[in-house]
Every structure is written in structure tokens, then in C-alpha cells.
Amino acid sequence: MVKVQIKNLRKCFGDLEVLKDIDFTVDDGEVVCVIGPSGSGKSTLLRCINALEVPTGGTIIVDDHEITDKHQDINKLRENIGMVFQQFNLFPHMTVKKNVMMAPVDRKKMTKEEADKKAVALLETVGLASKSDEYPDNLSGGQQQRVAIARALAMNPDVMLFDEPTSALDPEMVGDVLAVMKRLAEQGMTMIVVTHEMGFAREVADRVVFMDGGVIVEQGRPEDIFGNPQNERTIAFLNSVL
Amino acid sequence: MFEHVISVVTQALPKLCTGMALTIQMTLFGVIIAFIIGLIACLARISRFKIFSAVSGAYIYIIRGTPMLVQAFFLYFGVAQLLPFKLSKNLVGIITISLNAGAYMAEIFRGSIQSISKGQMEAARSLGLPYGTAMRKVILPQALRRSIPSLTNQVIISLKDVSILSAIGVAEIFQAGKIITARNMESTIIWTTVGAIYLIVVFLLTKLANYVERRTSYGQSTNKKSS
């Protein structure tokens, strides 16, 4: 079953065309890693999927709802699309637990008690139950990112978007965050991950997408993309990062 | 000599304190209303609806572009006197302070809101929160805290600006000082006393602001680990 369907997606910032006629689908339960040089449009593609960027043209359908339709209640649609940011973006004036509970309670998805229980359980799964009452500033980057994942999961999304989730982390913190993401993938979550972690892409992704210059240059199973890339731009990129 | 100073000060003090009490009252009401005006004007200013943004921009431009003395005269002689009902000097004074400080506070709030990283709004919206909720629960609590030092500054300015309202006859502390010196000719002693009273009030105000800032801080108390 198709979870995310993108057709003829275009995005311009002024005169700069960042996404050029992108067609892209993600199946239910699929884990897709998007790789490519900076400025290739991969983050913009991700941000179009939950309408943080408004596309210049084309359609995006998530779960049979057209994100690009102006008459849709975008807030309702976003509840089902979790997002994790490079800079974590935890709310610094709320405790860790409050960060996780806030949206489900505010959007009336859960009662306070349910959200509390859910937050405790989620923090448990990301290994941070003991930090519930701390403020984000007192956590390391890796811990903050795991809280951010828990916060996104609290809304029970059925698609998760990761925008370079480990790029702002010290190397020794990366492993914990990737482990949480890997477990999520194994549980069958549909995930789109923009990443520079080639090891993660190779190991966890069902499909790897290589973007450059606003187009999808090549995509396929990780063993094919990493083992036997066809396009010369893919080969050049992989040579420079591996 | 010393006894003379003491006697002039003790004679003037009750009137000066009554004046300062009025100054504080007018400042208090003024800045509370200004806070509300400032918040609304700020949200209008950053709104994507052009009409709100334009109206708020014009308001801020007019207030910042004219002296408060002119604003007070305009409101008292130019507006209040033409109304069919009577507005007291003090009420017009409070309105003047509110409108004046409101414009400056709007800019203070706008600066603080824009200093909050864009990622905060994006994170809130990505969870499905509508713009208003994200503003109220995520952006404003952080922005208002960052505003405290500048707001304190504005409150101090407004406290001192109340003296301008003596020009429309408000019996605040400066007006009280003028009346006393006109009678006893003791300018040096009276204005020193008036200045000292201002300094004491501003000192207490600063202490209060520091206390509020400490109380509203989050997460900085325990040891910060490196990321």
C-alpha cells in the first residue's frame, strides 16, 4: 500500500529551483533513506511532505489526504506525520515529559492521564525515563534528540520524517539515536530519513534515494546503490563520502 | 544649616510622597494596559494579514515619531475636551502612558519573538498545533521571558515619563515639587529629594525585575552537560 505519493513536485525559492519535478512514492512500512550533497534539495523535499515548505507545484498525498490541497486542515494531517529535526527543537521551557505530552493533550488526542502514561512509556523505550523531569538544556545532544523522537511518536504518527537527525551530534552520541531509529524501523514504522549516515542507510533502509541538483538521480536497494551505483554523479558522491 | 535642610525635607515629604504614590499608580495601570496593547500590536505587526500589520505599523510609527508631551496635549486638549463626557486628567494621563509604552513594548515583544529560533515554531507546527496555539504555548512563554530586561527598562522610562504629565496638570511628584519650590524657593533641597525618591523607587523596581527573571528561568540551575 502506498503511504506517501509525490507527483511532479516543484519548489522554488525566488529564482532558485530547489526541487525539479520530483516523483516519489513510499510504501507502508518502508524505510527510505535520502542521501545526496548539501543543496541537493533533500531537506526541502522532506519539509514539503508536512507542508513546512509550501510546494510551488505538484501534489503530495499522504494516507489518501492531499497535503497540497488548500482546503485540507493541515494541522489535522500533520498529526499523523511525525518530524525530527537536525537541531532537535525541544521546547526549552518545558520539562522532558511535558515536551512529549503537550501536543497529544492540546490536540485532544489523549487525556492528561493517557498522555502521561504514553510519555513515560515512550521515554522508557528511548532510554530516558530517568530524565522525565529535567529541562532539555540539561540533556546532552543525543539525549535531546531521543526525546525529540519520543515527542514526535507521542502523536501516534504513521509516517516519520527525519531531517539529518544525527548531523548536529558529537560522534559518540550518534549511535544511541540511530539505535532508537533502527528499532522504530523494525517495528514497521514508515520512515523517510534524510541522512549522511551511510552505515545506517546501508543497514536499515529498504530503499536508498540519491538526490542531486533538485532531482532524484538514482534509487534502489541499499546493496545496489552502495555496491553497484550506475549514475556517475552517484559514484562521485559515494566516492567522496565513503 | 543641617536643621534647616531637615525641616524643609520633612515639610515637603508628605506632599512629595503623595505625588510619588500617584506616579506609581499611573505607571502601574499604564504599563499593565501597555503590556496588553503591546502584545496585540506586536502580534498584529507580525501577522500575515497585511491590514493588521499596516495598522499596527502606523500606530508604532506615530507614537515613536512624536514626543509624549505632544501626545498628552493632543489627547487632553485635542480629544478629551471635545468629548461630551468628562475625562479626568489622571485618566487621560494613564491613556497617554498606555498608548506610548504600548508602542515601545510592541517592538520589544517583536524583537524577542524573532529572537526565538524558527525551529521552535516549526517543531510545534509539525506536531499539528495551529499557529495560535504554537504562539501561545511555545513561542510567547520563551519570548516574554527574554523581554523582561527590556520591559523593565520601559517601565522605568514610563515611570519617569509620568512627570511629563505635569504639563496637563496631573499632580504627580514632579508637579508636587514645582508647587513646593514655587512657595519656599528651596530648589536645591526639593529637587535633590525628588531625585532621591525616584532613585529609591527605580532601585526597588530593578530588584523586583531581577527576582521575576530568576523565578521564570528554566533548566539552568543544574549542571549543564556538553552536547
Which ipTM did the prediction report?
0.93
Is B4 touching A (CB cutoff 8 A)? no
Are residues B119 and A85, on separate chains, in Cβ contact within 8 Å? yes
Q: Which of A102, A107, A85 is nearest to A161 (CA)?
A: A85
pLDDT over 70, % of chain B:
96
Is A65 touching B (CB cutoff 8 A)? no
Give the domain ranges of chain B. 2-226
For residue A76, list chain B residues with Cβ-Cβ distance below 8 A: 128
- To the question of pTM greater than 0.90 for the whole model, the response is no
**A151-164: average pLDDT:** 96
Q: Is the model's pLDDT at A51 over the cut of 60? A: yes
Rounding to the nearest 10 degrees, give the CA dihedral for residues B86, B92, B94, B95. 110
Is B125 touching A (CB cutoff 8 A)? yes
CATH code, B2-226? 1.10.3720.10
- What confidence category does residue B227 fall into, taking pLDDT thresholds of 50, 70 and 90? very low
Q: Is A61 exposed, middle or buried (0-12, 13-18, 19+ CB in 10 A)?
A: middle
pLDDT in tens, B194-206: 999 999 999 999 9
**A170-198: average pLDDT:** 94
Question: What pLDDT is recorded for position B217?
Answer: 83
Q: Is the model's pLDDT at A213 over the cut of 60? A: yes
* A103 → closest Cβ in B128, B142, B226: B128
Q: Is the model's pLDDT at B219 over the cut of 80? A: no
Cell of A35: 542521501
End-to-end CA gap in chain B:
66
Are residues B127 and A90, on separate chains, in Cβ contact within 8 Å? no
For residue B137, list chain A residues with Cβ-Cβ distance below 8 A: 102, 106
* Residue-averaged pLDDT of chain A: 94
**A2-24: average pLDDT:** 94
Three-state SS string across A214-239, please? CEEEEEECHHHHHHCCCCHHHHHHHH
Is B222 touching A (CB cutoff 8 A)? yes
For residue B218, list chain A residues with Cβ-Cβ distance below 8 A: 92-93, 135, 137
Determine the distance from the C-alpha atom of residue A200 to the mean position of all C-alpha atoms in its chain, rounded to a whole number: 14
Interatomic CA distance for residues A240 and A222, integer angstroms: 17
* Residue-averaged pLDDT of chain B: 93
pLDDT in tens, B98-124: 999 999 999 999 999 999 999 999 999
